[in-house]
């Protein structure tokens, strides 16, 4: 029961001389850790995988070694294309290795999954790749003797040795030399004595900018079929998956399809003393027959989990942190044990749900195109968000095939007859109660009262209303600096101290002006 996969890894590929293995990296992801090592063409790979269950960690074949975090959702398709149907029954890592043997670097254009990969090829080259959405963030840092690659930036930030530039990856500000592998990218690094060279950068996915003008019926049918498939492949035969359920159309749609393919579905809703969506979630749970529970978290406790959100998402964007906070707090309070969680996260991005008041349609389409061009690096869908609680989470709306379909629909199918996310609502028409289908969108941070909680706390501490946003942004940057770049544990970081330091820094800055 539960997920059986590598949730994250750190590994160093070195040539000469070999650096002594550092202490076990301090992952935020809470799983079982195991050491991995391999050698190929004079390169040595040593690292640590953090897993849920007991999966294959490093897989090797013909002098090629692969470390895969996450999972693949088009296993049958890939196995068929390989002409080896039985490949669908082995581990995902074995399947990816077979795909590499068959297609080389373009294998990453074929895989539909939620993964990050590190591969040491027979010629001693290092290949790093993310899925189409970069949904498992992947980081690297190079020095004169090797390359460190990790699914958590914090494990690379304090490493010894002078960092080198890596062309084709994005340097994280802060002087640590840590780079991020961009979404939908595979990089081939050659490690020549004292030098790291990007031999090739391959884009494996980009958001489509073309739009399909299809009729209502075809569009609705397509969305229904692809959502069903995205949910089904993410269940991975787990007998008891969990859906984090707000009672909004996105998560209710995921729950409906999960129930259609699984014996027992747990659903859980969180709220604060200030605000919740318990009523609408209960209606959905009752209709679908899920094993439903509610969790109330005091809003001041919620805001104090911010350092954990930074530790998990490794970002400094306060708006995104605000979205993630309710989920992190919820995951950390679920009963411990193996758990596979499905969310409705991300549906609004290709469907323009946040822009429901944007008129006219061409403008709606432009903002959708803009949002799809700028999602990379926000880390909203990082598995570490739930990994801090030892939980694996996955997001069906960002399945590659469903996402391609949703983005490229004519915007007139996204907003139609005065309804936002019309095509999705129609696709779920026979699966959910009428009141759920017509329920207006409520953002995760709004429904749970998170934004107002952070704001209220700042106002209470004397921050003037006109400066609240600025203060949130500065606090988030400071926490990122302390927790990710200076590798402090979130429990050592207090909200009040960060606020005091932020305010002090601002006053000093103002006096110096």
Q: Which residues bind ligand ATP (CB under 6 A)?
A: 244-246, 248-251, 269-271, 277, 326, 330, 343-345, 348, 353, 441-444, 447-448
Q: How far is the CB of 385 from Mg ion (least distance, A)?
A: 17
Q: How far is the CB of 441 from Mg ion (least distance, A)?
A: 6
Q: How far is the CB of 88 from ligand ATP (least distance, A)?
A: 29
Nearer of residues 241 and 280 to Mg ion, judged by Cβ: 280
- Residue of 85, 138, 79, 131 whose CA lies nearest to 108: 131
What, of ligand ATP, Mg ion, none, does residue 448 touch, CB below 5 to 8 Å by kind?
ligand ATP
Nearer of residues 191 and 252 to Mg ion, judged by Cβ: 252
What, of Mg ion, ligand ATP, none, does residue 57 touch, CB below 5 to 8 Å by kind?
none
What distance in Å separates the CA atoms of residue 71 and residue 111, rounded to the nearest whole number? 10
β strands within 161-239, DSSP E: 170-171, 179-180, 185-192, 195-203
Find the Cα–Cα–Cα–Cα dihedral 464, 467, 473, 479, rounded to 10°. -30
What, of Mg ion, ligand ATP, none, does residue 343 touch, CB below 5 to 8 Å by kind?
ligand ATP
380 in catalytic set:
yes
Give backbone dihedrals phi and psi of 61, rounded to 5 degrees, phi first: -160, 125
Q: How far is the CB of 453 from Mg ion (least distance, A)?
A: 17
Other CB atoms within 10 A of residue 415 CB: 23
Helix residue ranges per DSSP H, 236-275:
249-261
Give Cβ neighbours of residue 429 (< 8 Å, ≥ 6 apart). 437
- Residue of 488, 468, 467, 465 whose CA lies nearest to 478: 488
Binding interface with Mg ion (CB under 5 A): 246, 248, 442
Catalytic residue among 71, 380, 426, 503: 380
Nearer of residues 50 and 424 to ligand ATP, judged by Cβ: 424
Nearer of residues 222 and 292 to ligand ATP, judged by Cβ: 292
Angle at which helices 450-460 and 318-333 pack, to 10 degrees? Answer: 110
Q: Which residue's Cβ lies closest to Mg ion?
A: 248
What distance in Å separates the CA atoms of residue 134 and residue 395, rounded to the nearest whole number? 13
Other CB atoms within 10 A of residue 79 CB: 19
Residues in the chain: 513
Biggest distance spanned by C-alpha atoms of the chain: 70
What, of Mg ion, ligand ATP, none, does residue 269 touch, CB below 5 to 8 Å by kind?
ligand ATP
441 in catalytic set:
yes
Catalytic residue among 73, 323, 331, 345: 345
Nearer of residues 66 and 268 to Mg ion, judged by Cβ: 268
460 in catalytic set:
no
Catalytic residue among 77, 190, 441, 446: 441
Q: How far is the CB of 211 from ligand ATP (least distance, A)?
A: 22
Catalytic annotation, residues: 345, 380, 441
């Amino acid at each position: 029961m539960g997920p059986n996969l590598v949730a994250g890894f750190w590994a160093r590929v070195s040539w000469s001389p070999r650096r002594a293995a550092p202490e076990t990296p301090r992952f935020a992801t809470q799983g079982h850790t195991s050491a991995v090592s391999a050698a190929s063409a004079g390169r040595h790979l040593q690292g640590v995988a953090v897993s849920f269950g007991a999966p294959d960690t490093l897989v090797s074949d013909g002098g090629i070694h692969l470390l895969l975090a996450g999972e693949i959702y088009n296993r049958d398709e890939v196995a068929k294309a390989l002409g080896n149907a039985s490949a669908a029954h082995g581990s995902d890592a074995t399947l990816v290795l077979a795909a590499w043997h068959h297609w080389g670097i373009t294998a990453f254009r074929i895989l539909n999954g939620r993964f990050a990969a590190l591969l040491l090829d027979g010629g001693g080259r290092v290949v790093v790749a993310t899925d189409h959405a970069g949904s498992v963030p992947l980081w690297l840092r190079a020095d004169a003797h090797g390359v460190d690659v990790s699914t958590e930036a914090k494990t690379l930030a304090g490493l010894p040795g002078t960092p080198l530039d890596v062309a084709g990856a994005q340097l994280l500000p802060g002087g640590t030399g840590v780079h991020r592998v961009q979404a939908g990218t595979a990089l081939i690094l050659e490690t020549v004595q004292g030098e790291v060279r990007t031999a090739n950068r391959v884009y494996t996915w980009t958001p489509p900018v073309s739009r399909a003008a299809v009729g209502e019926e075809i569009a609705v049918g397509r969305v229904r079929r692809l959502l069903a498939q995205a949910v089904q492949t993410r269940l991975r035969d787990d007998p008891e998956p969990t859906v984090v359920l707000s009672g909004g159309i996105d998560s209710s749609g995921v729950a409906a399809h999960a129930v259609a393919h699984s014996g027992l579905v747990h659903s859980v809703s969180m709220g604060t003393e200030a605000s919740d969506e318990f009523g609408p979630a209960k209606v959905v749970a009752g209709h679908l027959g899920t094993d439903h529970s509610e969790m109330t978290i005091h809003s001041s406790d919620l805001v104090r989990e911010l350092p954990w959100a930074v530790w998990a998402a490794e970002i400094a964007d306060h708006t995104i942190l605000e979205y993630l906070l309710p989920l992190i707090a919820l995951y950390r309070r679920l009963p411990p044990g193996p758990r596979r969680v499905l969310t409705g996260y991300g549906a609004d991005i290709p469907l323009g749900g946040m822009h429901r008041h944007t008129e006219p349609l061409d403008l709606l389409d432009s903002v959708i195109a803009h949002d799809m061009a700028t999602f990379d690096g926000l880390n909203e869908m990082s598995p570490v968000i739930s990994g801090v609680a030892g939980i694996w989470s996955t997001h069906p709306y960002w399945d590659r095939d469903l996402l391609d379909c949703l983005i490229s629909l004519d915007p007139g199918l996204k907003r139609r007859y005065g309804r936002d996310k019309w095509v999705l609502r129609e696709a779920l028409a026979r699966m959910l109660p009428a009141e759920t289908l017509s329920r207006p969108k409520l953002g995760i941070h709004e429904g749970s009262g998170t934004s107002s909680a952070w704001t209220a706390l700042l106002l209470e501490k004397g921050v003037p209303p006109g400066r609240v946003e600025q203060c949130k942004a500065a606090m988030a940057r400071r926490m990122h600096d302390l927790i990710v770049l200076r590798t402090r544990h979130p429990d050592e970081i207090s909200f009040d101290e960060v606020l005091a330091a932020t305010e002090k820094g601002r006053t000093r800055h103002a006096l110096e002006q």
